[in-house]
Structure 1
Amino acid sequence: MEQVGESVDELREKLSKMKKLMEERKGSTLGELSARKRRETSDIIDGNFLSWIFGCALVVILSVSFYAFYNLYQAVLKKFHSHHTEL
């Protein structure tokens, strides 16, 4: 009788494990699996981090553009200086 009692307890435990596995596998479509995976994994590259990266890249591009146009302006002023010699 004890063997039957132990085996019933083991079977109940296995059944509960199988129920848990089936609950975890519920929603096994590809979209739901990828959504669950995205929620479970926390990557270092998220939206906020990408915003900072693109913001820094924009600042670098704007500053290099300003520097280039300023040097071009200075070169044009040096080449065509505006000293009025007619007076």
Structure 2
Amino acid sequence: MSTNREPEASEDMLESIDELKERLSSMKRMMEERKATGSGSKDLFQGHARSLHGTNMIDGNFLSFVFGGSLVVILSVSVYAFYNLYHAVLKKFPSSHTEL
């Protein structure tokens, strides 16, 4: 039985190799056509970016505003926490003044 499977497997492998060769040659042709028309790989992504450019609501200025606001909130909460911690430590361990 193993002799029957081996030829089938090799035929399937040859068919898949032939399909891969055909795909590779078609991709090469497509790339040559793109180079001939002057559109490179950059245009593939720029075309997509151009179509999304009008609908993109989040830009650099908005992100700067959001991250700046987050930084202000984090800094203010940190200052508030350390201020309360400082006063709690002073309340727990009051300093005794001996100079009077």
Q: Percent identity?
A: 60
For CA contacts below 8 A with separation 6 or more, give which structure has more relative contact order. 1
The answer to whether structure 1 residue 34 and structure 2 residue 34 are counterparts is no
Which deviates further from its counterpart, 75-84 or 60-69?
Answer: 75-84
Structure 1 stretches of at least 4 aligned residues deviating more than 4 Å after TM superposition = none
What CA distance in whole angstroms lies between the structure 1 residues aligned with 2:90 and 2:79? 16
Structure 2: stretches of 5+ with no match in the other structure: 1-36
| Unaligned ranges ≥5, structure 1 | 1-24
Number of the residue aligned with 2:73: 60
Deviation, structure 1 residue 85 = 5.2
1:14 maps to none
What amino acid is the match of 2:48?
K
Q: Which residue of structure 2 lines up, in the alignment, with residue 50 of structure 1?
A: 63
TM-score, normalisation: structure 1: 0.59
Count of aligned residue pairs for this structure pair? 62
